[in-house]
A and B are shown apart, each in its own frame.
Chain A
Amino acid sequence: MKKAETSPVLLTSKKYVKQSQIRIILHNLRKNTGAMIGLGIILSLIIVSCLSDIIFDYDTEIAGINIADKLIRPCREHIFGTDDLGRDIFKRVLYGAKYSLGVGFAATMIGMFIGVIFGSIAGYYCGLAEDIIMRCNDVLSAVPSILMGIVIVSALGASTFNLMLAIGITSVPQFVRITRAAVLSVRNQEYVEALKATGMSEARIIAFHIIPNCMSPIIVQITLRIASAIIAASSLSFLGLGVPVPAPEWGSMLNLGRQYVRTASYLTIFPGLAILITVLAFNLLGDGLRDALDPKLRK
């Protein structure tokens, strides 16, 4: 009873180092083989897209017509074969990366920008603003996105920009919903109450304590949305409603291949594989990010 004031003893020999959020996330991500494969593929696609105009001459190698070489089966010289106008499929597939990535990124950014703004407004300010935004969102999401894309592009005319715009608009509802849910759940958490009780200003709370906690679902959504935007872009191009023809967009290459599906199936196989791999890469990364960012799963 005399020695009641014994000081606490360090009971474990483990070292507890303060770890930053980003370091933990990167650490978790690095352990996820799938996500790393995805990231690798995406990075190489980005590099290919950046260099494609340096490596290839668009007018001769990509869009240039060379009837003499038409419909050559995959061989040593043309490893993916050539199309009906004698263009090398391999070069076109590589060159096409920049369309898919570009449209995917740009459309998702458009969707995210609009969606996050309206979503956070709806999340912060309940009441009329939220009601209006959410009802508009209901309307927008009532139309299946591929149809919405088709309608928008067909009304505005087929061009790369209109394609981005159309896909961007169709991805708005998802972002609105996710941002609103994230903001709402964070806003109602007790730590926000606690911060208010300490007298911190509302603006500071929002900027430093609410937004950072909403980032992870948005980041995950961006990655997964790029994947579906790429599919949407190639679908529309496949229907002749996307990137205009001579450009080697993968979807429009497939549209061309469709006419030769019985005679020259290689025209169909390779651009499709390119879409598959790209989409797979984004899905893998998105899924890995979700696991890495989800504090519930973190141990």
Chain B
Amino acid sequence: MEETVKTTNDDIVLELENLRVKFVLETETVEAVNGISISLRRGRTLGLAGETGAGKTTTALSLLRLVPYPGRVECDKLVVEGHDVLKMSQKELEKYRGADLAMIFQDPMTSLNPVFTVGQQIADTIMLHDPTTREDAMKKAEAMLELVGIPAARAVEYPHQFSGGMKQRVVIAIALACNPGVLIADEPTTALDVTIQAQVLALMKKLRDERGMSMIMITHDLGIIADVCDEVAIMYAGRIIEYGTLRDVFNHTRHPYTEGLFNSLPNIRSRREKLKPIPGLMPDPSNLPKGCAFAPRCRYATDACRAERPADRMLSDTHMVACTRYDEPGFRIDRPDRD
């Protein structure tokens, strides 16, 4: 990754350096995120992929500074749309959330307030960031509903009257209501049926392109990444272990874990081929191994891997991999490059 300074490069809308999040509990300390750096350029979409528990959602919540109570967030730099988020007061943070950076949550069933109409919920966001009358806000809210493909007349209905896919459209409308520069989508389609997933994704892509928004797409579905993203960061146990353009990561896969992810996908073209799951489980985040967190499951692992955490290695201008084995000249994983 190239070094960027916030004033010199307007193109960068979000820059995060060395984010660490710990949850300190009575009996143990859960290390959810262990040093993540991301930079996102205007209009681009970054995919954040990894298994459940890799720290994706915690990373997203850290960007909003909304990590819940026992969580401790440390970070060297967080600049969004030219604002230094780390130096913000509580008031400034409230202004920043929703206006500069908005988020779509995973489960639309539970992320809408059951006792307010969907129109009210969208209008609330608008009124928070744009001093206007309630009537105007409601009008805008109805326009937002139309934008996400819901008839404006349904603005007076309550969340329980909507289906899951419709609710997610409402959540998207809330997130986009104030025209944020950056949108974080946290597994926006996981809770939905497959056919609805495609519709919601298509809607998000359309709105992103129309508005020139930057987006961080969090998902465990590599298909969605391939569909939506320009850049990909693969997370494992609270770290980014491979980071690059879509092409870098998908066609020139370097990290053994990323390889494992691809191998565990069913291949529609050859149905005979057996799935090859990654053996073992994600390590307990309260008890991470000393060396590379993936080493216990990695078939390429050596004693060196187990002894020390791997540093980030740049394989090209855009492609980063955190794997000690690449110190050996000529080391290659089994997965062939595809171009």
Contacts and interface: CB of A to CB of B under 8 A. Distances in A.
Interface in A152-211: none
Contacts of B297: 9, 11
A6 B296 contact: no
A228 B89 CA distance: 50
A212 interface: no
Q: Give the interface size class of chain A.
A: 10 to 19
B284 A9 contact: no
A3 to B, nearest CB: 5
A295 interface: no
B153 interface: no
A11 B279 contact: no
A12 B274 CA distance: 29
B283 A12 contact: yes
A11 B276 contact: no
Contacts of B289: 11
A167 B281 CA distance: 56
Contacts of B299: 3, 6
Nearest to A4: B276
Interface in B160-208: none
Interface string A1-30: 101101111011110000000000000000
A interface secondary structure, majority: loop
A9 B276 contact: no
B334 A11 contact: no
A11 B287 CA distance: 9
Nearest to B297: A9
A7 B277 CA distance: 11
B212 to A, nearest CB: 43
A14 B284 contact: yes
B interface secondary structure, majority: loop
Nearest to A5: B279
B329 interface: no
A7 B280 CA distance: 8
Contact of A8 (B276, B279, B283, B284): B279
Interface in B211-245: none
Contacts of A6: 279, 299
A1 B334 CA distance: 8
A7 B287 contact: no
A4 B278 CA distance: 9
B30 to A, nearest CB: 12
Interface in A61-113: none
A9 B295 CA distance: 11
Nearest to B274: A4
Contacts of A4: 274, 276
A13 B287 contact: yes
B257 to A, nearest CB: 14
B320 to A, nearest CB: 25
B228 to A, nearest CB: 30
A8 B299 CA distance: 12
Nearest to B289: A11
A153 B190 CA distance: 62
Which of A3, A7, A12 is most buried by chain B, counting CB atoms within 10 A of its CB?
Answer: A12
Interface in B323-338: 334
B296 A9 contact: yes
Contacts of B296: 9, 11
A292 to B, nearest CB: 16
Interface string B281-293: 1111001010000
A12 B287 contact: yes
B334 A8 contact: no
A2 to B, nearest CB: 9
B41 to A, nearest CB: 37
A9 B283 contact: no
B238 to A, nearest CB: 15
A9 B293 CA distance: 13
A9 B280 CA distance: 5
B300 to A, nearest CB: 10
Contacts of B279: 6-9
A180 to B, nearest CB: 27
Contacts of A14: 284, 287
A157 B296 CA distance: 77
A14 B287 CA distance: 9
B334 A12 contact: no
Contacts of B281: 8, 11
A7 B284 CA distance: 18
A8 B281 CA distance: 8
Contacts of B284: 11-12, 14
Contact of B280 (A1, A11, A13): A11
Nearest to A2: B334
Contacts of A12: 283-284, 287
Interface of B: 274, 276, 279-284, 287, 289, 296-297, 299, 334
Given A11-B281, A11-B283, 8 more contacts: A1-B276, A1-B334, A6-B279, A11-B289, A11-B297, A12-B283, A12-B284, A12-B287
Closest 3 CB pairs of A and B: A6-B279, A9-B280, A12-B284
27 contacts: A1-B276, A1-B334, A3-B299, A4-B274, A4-B276, A6-B279, A6-B299, A7-B279, A8-B279, A8-B280, A8-B281, A9-B279, A9-B280, A9-B297, A11-B280, A11-B281, A11-B282, A11-B283, A11-B284, A11-B289, A11-B296, A11-B297, A12-B284, A12-B287, A13-B287, A14-B284, A14-B287
